[in-house]
Structure 1
Amino acid sequence: MFSFFRKKSPPPAVQPQVVESQAIAPQTAEAPATEPVSAPAAVAAPAPAANAAPAEAPATEAAEKKSWLARLKQGLSRTGSSIAGVFGYVKVDEALFEQLEDALLMADCGVTATQKILAGLRARVKSERIEDAAAVRTALAKVLADHLRALERTPQVPAAADEKPWVVMIAGVNGAGKTTSIGKITHHLSEGGHSVLLAAADTFRAAAREQLAVWGNRNQVSVVSQEGADPGAVVFDAVQSARAKGIDVVIADTAGRLPTQLHLMEELKKIARVCGKALDGAPHERWLVIDGNTGQNAVAQVKAFNEALQLTGLIVTKLDGTAKGGVLAAIASTCPVPVLFIGVGEQLQDLQPFSAEEFAGALTGA
């Protein structure tokens, strides 16, 4: 499913390490006065798994796709049930559109997106002379997919050796699922043959470093970490180490924070600047993890973090525990930062690339 990450066969596995980053004073992270010390990390991807015979691959991929769509539909069932319930109404009249408007607003699509979606649906119903409620639901799925298509984007890991490493900076509020999402993405990258190095830049919370180390061990990748160190210094060391080792990807986990905590938001900007000092153009990606349960508050988070970091993508988690899955429609209308991945569960397979068509179909039950 993460086919866009697949590039090469994984190298033989070695024992992952948690590497202690050099202790660097905060001001040094902003503009290092001395040559930074590369963390001596031995980076490894997992050993190659037993692959199915080539003739069986298409069937396996089809089964995985079907399984994912079933999980997505189940995960969005709380949102979709309220929308699908509207189409039990037999006649296609103004009452149906009024009920649908209420359902979209309750799903946290937001006023602007709801009005745009309904306007598009009315036009389609009129032009296609739809008179059946079930056909209206199919039309709604198409209109919603068109609305969400602005959020589609497929990130690509550069293949050229001189572009290594590809640096991804991850931000988000506490509890959004930031570190868990990093672990899942690392797994898929490693399975695709990419070497990965994790930077534990959440230096304020010991549990965060430990959690990232667990994911590092599970995925057979190394983690650059330093208790109490300046977050920018940890990221600087991680990028320098990755450059020296020829590692493909660096993923930096940052401390959870609310967008109203201005001093912490300034620190995020600083980490990004220090990252650029370690490698021109880094961080190449700035992703925000948002909890799908937060509804319209997620829109406010996207706006605030986008202003601070110029986000290149979103990861939306926990869509299986909410009736507010329509918030992606609100994001598309008000702050269309691409949605790269969505999560509908705790398993590795429950985080997958976002598809407007798949999401719209699951949300409407079409």
Structure 2
Amino acid sequence: TFESKSMAGVGVMFYVLLALRAELRARGVFDAATQPKLDPLLTLVALGTVADVVRLDANNRRLVAQGLKRIRAGQMPAGVAALFHAAGRKAPVATTFDFGFALGPRINAAGRLADMTLGIECLLTDDAGRAAELAATLDGINRERREIEGGMREQAMLMAESLFDDSEEPPPAISVFDPDFHEGVVGIVASRIKDKLHRPTFVFAASSAPGKSQELKGSGRSIPGFHLRDALDLVAKRHPGVILKFGGHAMAAGCTVDADSFDTFEQALAQVAQEWLDASTLTRRIETDGPLSPEYCRADMVDTLHREVWGQGFLPPTFSEEVQIVSQRLVGQAKNHLSIKLMHQGNPIDAIWFGHTEQLPARVLLAFRLDVNEWKGERRVQFLVEGAEIQ
């Protein structure tokens, strides 16, 4: 009967503690004045809710907003503060972006490549020195994770694109496996393929667990309209023994399959996707708020937007309109981001399209969000490109 059906485990545990405290208070173990204070936990609840990529419904947004409020006021565990410092982010202006793309990946990297207890200890310690040491270690592991991911992503993308010709549409679902893949980053790579091809995607690696050499561990990411966990359930029922175990939710799931059954899994998942998805669902669409009036293209307006809670199921404002491309070049260590200079309603604006390498025509309809780029003390609005419609 609880109103929120999209809570992360960390949120469930927080409400369990609230209920336990209420019960103990009713039994006279303590009163309102002496009861344990649970509100300091909201920083961790907020971090976990965003990092778990659950839908930010009204209740989850309340939890995240309360956590952000405390972090911005400097009320946070030593480990959270240390992670902000290691990531080069500013806690006084913390956003959900920091949770999802700065702190979360560093905590998760330990579980992917090393020992997950490093991240847990970092969040739990009250020793600022120990927290700084752990945060630096996690940052180093995350850098290693990015290096592994880069090579694996390129190889996995080539494998995915080899499944169809240039003149064809991608298959309704994509599954790839290579013996050299690292199981610690299969989910991240699946997400990258899903983003580019707009198809439910699973990436598998050989299990590194002792005695499990004949098992493949896979992680999947989905698109709107395709419930990944339910799809795995149907595959398991149609092909008993192929999936050894599975779990997850609509947009992300994991499973273990027998190594000899990968081809069967690949075909079975594609069959379910063929049955459940139509042409409309398989076409990537970006909902936008239309053109952006020039008077709102200000750094203080961007700051106002950033202070709000955005994320899965509650996306930040996205605008769309035709712009003139002045110049464009590839940037980043791997040259995999497109830096753009454009004219927006007669005004010059910088833009960046992360993970995109193809050049744009002189005039193009762009979908974009607002951000602020700081350089040598100067703050200027920039566009974060989400997509383009090229005729």
TM-score over 0.5 (shorter chain):
no
Larger helix share, 1 or 2: 1
TM-score (normalised: structure 1): 0.25
Larger strand share, 1 or 2: 2
